[in-house]
Amino acid sequence: MISFNTTKNIQTFKTTFIIVSRDFKIKNSLNLVKDACDFEKLGKANKFLANINQFLVAPCKDEKQIIFIGFGKEESENLDNLDSYRNALGKTLKKAKELEIKDFCVDAFEFAKFYKNKNDFLKDTVLTLELSNYEFDELKSKKQSAKIENISLLTPEEIEEKDEIIKQGQIIAQAINFSRRLSDLPPNIANPKYIAQSALKQAEKFGITHKILNKSEIEKLKMGGVLAVGSGSVNDPYFVQLEYKSNHPNAKKIALVGKGVTFDTGGVSLKPSNYMKGMKYDMSGAATVISTIVALSQLKPKHDVIAFAPLVENMPSGSSYRQDDIVTHFNGMTSLIENTDAEGRVILADALAYAEQEFNPDYIIDVATLTGACVVALGHFYTGMVSTDEKLAKKLIESGEETGDYVWRLPHKKLYAQALKSDVADVANCGNSAFSAGTITAAMYLKKFIKTQNWAHLDIAGTESGIPVDTYLGKGATGVGIKLLVNFIENLD
Ligand code: BES
Ligand code: ZN
Ligand code: ZN
């Protein structure tokens, strides 16, 4: 973890990074630098136009240095400004690592105008820098880069309770980086037991109420879907339940349900190997909901939140579940297995029904790397959402815009549910291909296992990893959904 401070004066730092947009001439804080170096002359001489990805190392008097990081052009509407700002912070951190500068100041206060208030600016800046600092290199014998120690943020205006705000940013970032590590760990390490034990460790560390069910307890609960999908693996299934209680009189109850397939081979409906690559990330939904509780238990919002995460490995073997099997779920409903690769929904069916019965929530939100179709439809920058609740959908979209965990809503008319009809079971686990719309039909399957309308399904298949461009998140897992859910819960009345 980086240690953060705020400062009113950059002159005391050996190295200062200044993020500048293309109209940098009007930037107030550049006056502070004026005595130290002639930035305009330097800029011209070095063809520095403050474009995205551009930087300029400006040596100054007294062995100090100022490093300009290009922001690009500011948009007149706020559409892309936050992305550009977060990515510029990412570039700042990367440059500092490259130059092995462990202790520096960042001048970015100019961009506070993109946020609702200064607190949000400070919190998100800390959070984004911590996320930029994450690298999954623990299994490499040679570590790649220097570790950043201290960052001071220039905040010329007073920010009340700044220490508390910095801490909040760090709590969320730490939870996200914990989640990213679980996702990035290879499936031979991060199997269901490993994830369950990691959740248990966090629960013990932060005093979170927890239940970790093993296979025989899952059998007792008759979670036929979890057992079926887990049956082909030598690694037994687990079921994690973590609870945050607010003790607030008007608390709403929110259930979070996350798909935890620690590796998805497809099972006997085996995936071709090029489609199997990256299927270690198929537990990201579980990591998201577990980590959200880890963050909430420290942030202490006024609502009660409980996370449910079924954990299995989907493997082909002599003991695997098969196509044509009929599985009986926790709530007594039956699924015809038409494709063992549509396994996420089969485990979520049990978990959703269980969450509703156990907790009687006001809202249920599930998070899952559910369909390749979602990646085709929305790519890597928007999570797909299907929701039967207008208010919930609207609030999640708003939280997405604020946090950068963008959400796009898809339709949910009953017409789509006809894709799941089966002659021999209550529902088929795989939508009739004539209906297309794989993300929506998958969501319609999930919907059959809950009674409440206050439900949202988040398909993170495209957003949990594999971002094709260089952003502040770098390579590997993104930890998508945690910022989103924390923001949603903190802003819920
Ligand atoms: N885990 C996959 C979905 C996925 C695909 C996540 C690509 C991330 C990237 C899921 O279990 C799956 O295999 N879904 C099938 C469903 C189909 C068999 C109905 C799919 O999307 O092809
Ligand atoms: Zn699958
Ligand atoms: Zn899967």
Return the DSSP state at 320: S
Beta bridge pairs of residue 409 = 385
In our burial notation (b when 16+ CB lie closer than 10 A, e otherwise), range 278-309 reads ebbbbbbbbbbbbbbbbbbbbbebebbbbbbb
Q: pLDDT tens, 211-221?
A: 999 999 999 99
Torsions phi, psi of 236, nearest 5?
-65, 155
% the chain with pLDDT above 70: 96
Q: Which amino acid is at 358?
A: E
Residue nearest to atom 7 of ligand 1 (CA): 372
Most informative mutation of 271, 279, 341, 440 for ligand 1 (most atoms within 8 A of CB): 341
User: Is the beta carbon of 338 within 6 A of some atom in ligand 1?
Assistant: no
pLDDT for res 353: 98
The residue from 345, 395, 448, 483 that is catalytic is 345
pLDDT for res 400: 98
pLDDT for res 29: 52
Q: pLDDT tens, 248-280?
A: 999 999 999 999 999 999 999 999 999 999 999
Note whether 480 and 385 are within 8 A (CB).
no
Strands, sheet with 55-59, edge to edge from the N-terminal-most edge strand = 3-7, 150-154, 103-107, 15-21, 65-72, 55-59
Q: What six digits make up the tokens of 185?
A: 């760990």
Ligand 1 closest atom vs CA 271:
13
% the chain with pLDDT above 90: 87
Model confidence, pTM: 0.97
Instruction: With CA atoms as reference, report the closest residue to 191 among 280, 321, 267.
Output: 280
Q: Which amino acid is at 288?
A: T
In the block, tokens 């911590």 appear at 130
Q: What six digits make up the tokens of 422?
A: 């089966």
DSSP class per residue in 246-289 = ---TT--EEEEEE-EEEEE--TTSPPPHHHHTTGGGGGHHHHHH
d(CA 368, CA 342) in angstroms, rounded, equals: 12
Annotated catalytic, 180? no
Angle between helical axes of 390-403 and 482-491 (0-180°, round to 10): 120
Angle between helical axes of 482-491 and 284-299 (0-180°, round to 10): 40
DSSP class per residue in 140-189 = SSS--SPPP-EEEEE--S--TTHHHHHHHHHHHHHHHHHHHHHHHS-TTT
Mean pLDDT over all residues of the chain?
94
In our burial notation (b when 16+ CB lie closer than 10 A, e otherwise), range 241-259 reads bbbbebeeeebbbbbbbbb
Annotated catalytic, 271? yes
Q: How far is the CA of 163 from the centre of ligand 2 (A)?
A: 44
Lowest mean pLDDT among 122-131, 140-149, 353-362, 384-393: 140-149
Sign of CA dihedral 378, 380, 383, 386: positive
The residue from 167, 193, 245, 271 that is catalytic is 271
pLDDT tier at 41 (50, 70, 90 boundaries)? confident
Return the DSSP state at 94: H
Return the DSSP state at 492: -
Q: What is the mean pLDDT of residues 359-378?
A: 98
Q: What is the mean pLDDT of residues 21-49?
A: 66
HEC secondary structure over 338-398: CCCCCCHHHHHHHHHHHHHHHHCCCEEEEEECCCHHHHHHHCCCCEEEEECCHHHHHHHHH
User: Is the beta carbon of 344 within 6 A of some atom in ligand 1?
Assistant: yes
Lowest mean pLDDT among 60-69, 101-110, 268-277, 455-464: 60-69
Q: Is pLDDT at 84 greater than 60 in this prediction?
A: yes
Residue nearest to atom 8 of ligand 1 (CA): 461
Q: How far is the CA of 264 from the centre of ligand 2 (A)?
A: 5
Note whether 182 and 198 are within 8 A (CB).
yes
Most informative mutation of 371, 436, 441 for ligand 1 (most atoms within 8 A of CB): 371
CA-to-CA dists, residue 432 to 26, 388, 404, 420, 437, angstroms: 59, 22, 34, 6, 10
pLDDT for res 22: 86
pLDDT for res 431: 83
User: Is the beta carbon of 328 within 6 A of some atom in ligand 1?
Assistant: no
Return the DSSP state at 299: H
d(CA 182, CA 198) in angstroms, rounded, equals: 8
pLDDT for res 36: 56
d(CA 162, CA 118) in angstroms, rounded, equals: 10
Q: What is the mean pLDDT of residues 49-76?
A: 87
pLDDT for res 64: 85
Q: Is pLDDT at 37 greater than 70 in this prediction?
A: no
pLDDT for res 77: 83
Note whether 361 and 355 are within 8 A (CB).
yes
Q: pLDDT tens, 93-144?
A: 999 999 999 999 999 999 999 999 999 999 999 999 999 999 999 999 987 7
pLDDT for res 46: 76
Q: Is pLDDT at 26 greater than 60 in this prediction?
A: no
